[in-house]
Amino acid sequence: MYSRRFDWDAQPHPLSQATDNQMVRGKTIVNLVDANPTRCGFAYPEDAILSAIARPDAMTYDPAPRGLPAARDAVCAYYREQGAVVSAERILLTAGTSEAYGLLFKLLADPGDEILIPRPGYPLLSHLAGFEGLICHAYPLRYSEASGWRVDLEVVSALVTTRTRAVVVVSPNNPTGNYIKSEELAALDTLCRKHGLALIVDEVFADFPRRPSHPAVKSVVNRTSALTFVLNGVSKMLGLPQLKLGWIVAGGDPRETVTAMERLELLMDFYLTVGTPVQTGTAQLLAGRQDIQHQINARLTDNEAWLDARLTGTANICRLAREGGWYAVLSIDDAIGDDARALTLIEKAGTLIHPGLFYDFYREGFVVLSLLLPPERFAHGVSSLIRRFGRPAA
């Protein structure tokens, strides 16, 4: 009766079952992977946000498949502040970045076509592609202490087949935190042009830099000549996922950009998913972003510094270099499997971590943590992890 889109293992992972069991028993869980900013104790400029989405002009419904002009102008202003000139004709608003992926996959690929995605990477990507009937091939990001995470460009190009339609880059990547470097971008741009592929670059974490190593690209907008779609939205930028506002900036090849925008507009005309109140408020919301971004960046830095200090006394756990984003990746040297470690920690200490395997790390021995948590909760959870799995430094 149902489509093959659901032909994947939808059974809850033992880790979520174990977490639910703990909650049913009334145990308090420390969720060390909580990346929901609205639950992390930030002082949102509530009056300003609520007044932005309660403007009188939100009472008029004026359907605009690309998004209301004033909201698209506000997105242009955001890029102008970053030094990139973008015309509103190249911007299409969406109800979040996940929806933007779905639209782009519909635009670019037929069922059975292929896209290339980063590994390790954002777990939702392969599902979003799968729902459009696409096949994902993962290209590796390789880590070294000297250079951090780098795209294995040789493998990317070896993965291209006649059915490949797009290369996806997440910059900074979730969860590894690396920005795309200018030489990587140039190589991917050349590859995409050579094979007629589109480049999709997800920059939802771009406003949260830590130590971008040279020559990291802060935004890919206006930096490519292959057909390129840059994704962003307020979910991370303003820490407000519930507003459901994202956008696509189309660019690169100017002729293809016009065609792509026309087709995206047509697609969006069937859905018209973006709410009016968030669009009439976009200019005010984006103009006020510094306040929350400052708080989030301070939190990420403070938690990371605390984590590093705590890890100096530990022989077998270290944090991998982070250029940006909201996550810390720990490498743990022990004989315990990643799933077993996470299960033990939730069952014995009520602390939830994500095994690296959730993000398709290429081997066992990695843990992913959110750096967004309130400091006490973060310290409590990390201390549980280190107590159970850390070996004291000699």
Residue 295 as a binder of ligand PLP (CB under 6 A): the answer is no
* β-pair partners for 216: 181
Residue 279 as a binder of ligand PLP (CB under 6 A): the answer is no
Residue number, 185 or 317, with CB nearest to ligand PLP: 185
When binding is defined by CB under 6 A, the residue of 19, 22, 31, 97 that contacts ligand PLP is: 97
When binding is defined by CB under 6 A, the residue of 114, 132, 202, 360 that contacts ligand PLP is: 202
b/e sequence 321-331, b meaning 16+ C-beta within 10 Å: bbbbbbbbbbe
Residue 96 as a binder of ligand PLP (CB under 6 A): the answer is yes
Determine the distance from the C-alpha atom of residue 254 to the mean position of all C-alpha atoms in its chain, rounded to a whole number.
27
* β-pair partners for 368: 329, 354
Minimum distance from residue 61 beta carbon to ligand PLP (Å)? 23
Q: What is the amino acid identity at position 321?
A: A
Minimum distance from residue 115 beta carbon to ligand PLP (Å)? 15
When binding is defined by CB under 6 A, the residue of 78, 79, 105, 122 that contacts ligand PLP is: 122
Residue number, 97 or 164, with CB nearest to ligand PLP: 97
Which parts of 12-80 are beta strand (E)? 30-31
What is the rounded distance in angstroms from the CA atom of residue 58 to the CA atom of residue 49?
14
Minimum distance from residue 334 beta carbon to ligand PLP (Å)? 28
Minimum distance from residue 372 beta carbon to ligand PLP (Å)? 11
What is the rounded distance in angstroms from the CA atom of residue 73 to the CA atom of residue 367?
41
Residues binding ligand PLP: number (CB under 6 A): 12
User: What is the DSSP secondary structure assignment for residue 208, as one 8-state letter?
Assistant: -
Residue number, 98 or 178, with CB nearest to ligand PLP: 98
Nearby residues of 26 by Cβ (< 8 Å), 6 or more positions away: none
Q: Which residue has the tokens 């069952």?
A: 347
Residue number, 185 or 234, with CB nearest to ligand PLP: 234
Longest dimension (CA), the chain: 68
Q: To 5 degrees, how large is the angle CA 374–CA 174–CA 18?
A: 65
What are the φ/ψ torsions at residue 338 (nearest 5 degrees)?
-65, -45
Residue number, 324 or 381, with CB nearest to ligand PLP: 324
Element (H, E) at 142: strand 135-144
When binding is defined by CB under 6 A, the residue of 18, 197, 204, 260 that contacts ligand PLP is: 204
When binding is defined by CB under 6 A, the residue of 228, 235, 257, 370 that contacts ligand PLP is: 235
Where residue 280 falls (left for φ over 0; alpha for ψ -120 to 50; beta otherwise) is alpha
User: What is the DSSP secondary structure assignment for residue 54, as one 8-state letter?
Assistant: T
Minimum distance from residue 232 beta carbon to ligand PLP (Å)? 8
Residue 241 as a binder of ligand PLP (CB under 6 A): the answer is yes
- Which pair of tokens denotes residue 381? 């959870």
Q: Which stretch binds ligand PLP (CB under 6 A): 7-15, 92-100, 144-152, 376-384?
A: 92-100
Residue 207 as a binder of ligand PLP (CB under 6 A): the answer is no
Residue 174 as a binder of ligand PLP (CB under 6 A): the answer is yes
Question: Which residues in this chain contact ligand PLP in the complex, by CB under 6 A?
Answer: 96-98, 122, 170, 174, 202, 204, 233, 235, 241, 246
